[in-house]
Amino acid sequence: MGAGALAPAAALDYLDAMGSSSFAAPAKLLVRPISSRFAECLRSDANIAIDVDRARTQHRGYVEALERLGLVVESVEADDDAPDACFLEDTAVVMDARSLATMPGAPARRREVEPVTRAVRRLTHVTDVIEMQLPATLDGGDVLRVGEHLFVGLSSRTNAAGAAALELAAKGSGIRVVRLTVRDGLHLKSACTLASAGLLVYDARVLGDEELACFLGIGLRVMPAPEAAGANVLALGGAVLVSLAAPKTAELLRAEGLDVHVVDVGEMHKADGALTCLSLRIPRAGCWST
């Protein structure tokens, strides 16, 4: 184990916790171009200026990093009138052949769902799309897949009815929904993500003992990320993307033996976005992706 990672005190059999399917790089990732109105995107600090051209360059770098790993990337049609459209992870939760089309918590983002739903139907093996209805709201950034578990963060965007709708959508799939509270920041995955099938990185300022116990309880190891931007990494089979803004996290993950790829998403961080938000991962049949 690398320095800084905690192991579960009484480890469950990790394979039991993961269920019968195995962790693998996704069959495909969907991405969505940066809107020409990206500078108008929702963000906690509207005074921070966003450079749309630089964001486009960084988005290309993100896609190229995925393609260098041999992954298949396809683009959903652009929508220049949807400033946050590049963060398409928020609009769908894909579970095997079933997908939930979400109801984003921010009304301004709800127009983003329909084009992504169409692309999911057209470009993937998903056959069953379930549509969420108000008053339920949920952003995909609040949903973390870990084996046969979906951790859902109750946040400023995702409400209790949204978590219940996710649970209903997962019914019969063998996937268990576990609710957590997001005390600070935008989404659950702003505060924690998987670096590999067995290792969670997290922001210690947001996640406390109660939340960590849920992850330790299914046999994950947990590691505090030295930088806030290090809590959102993107695990793709044996490789992991880490933000350029998190060099110490990258170093710790290299020490874990992971194949770390550093990507500059600085303009997306200004928009409260990060690595996972920029793609929708479509798992391989019989496998899970995060």
Q: Which residues bind ligand GLY (CB under 6 A)?
A: 41-43, 84, 87, 106, 109, 186, 271-273
What is the nearest approach in angstroms of ligand GLY to the Cβ of residue 109? 6
Smaller CB separation from ligand GLY, 85 or 165: 85
Residue of 41, 187, 192, 269 marked catalytic: 187
Contact (CB, 8 A) for 152 and 177: yes
State both tokens at 145.
């897949």
6 DSSP assignment: B
What is the nearest approach in angstroms of ligand GLY to the Cβ of residue 208? 24
Q: How far from the centroid of its chain's Cα atoms is residue 234's Cα? A: 7
The CA distance from 189 to 185, in Å, is: 9
What is the nearest approach in angstroms of ligand GLY to the Cβ of residue 268? 8
- Residue 192 a catalytic site member: no
Q: Give the length of the chain.
A: 290
Smaller CB separation from ligand GLY, 41 or 154: 41
Smaller CB separation from ligand GLY, 41 or 253: 41
What is the nearest approach in angstroms of ligand GLY to the Cβ of residue 192? 18
Contact (CB, 8 A) for 45 and 87: no
Q: How many CA atoms lie within 13 A of 96 on its CB side?
A: 15
Smaller CB separation from ligand GLY, 75 or 156: 156
CA end-to-end distance (rounded Å), the chain: 22
- Residue 261 a catalytic site member: no
Give the active site residues: 187, 277
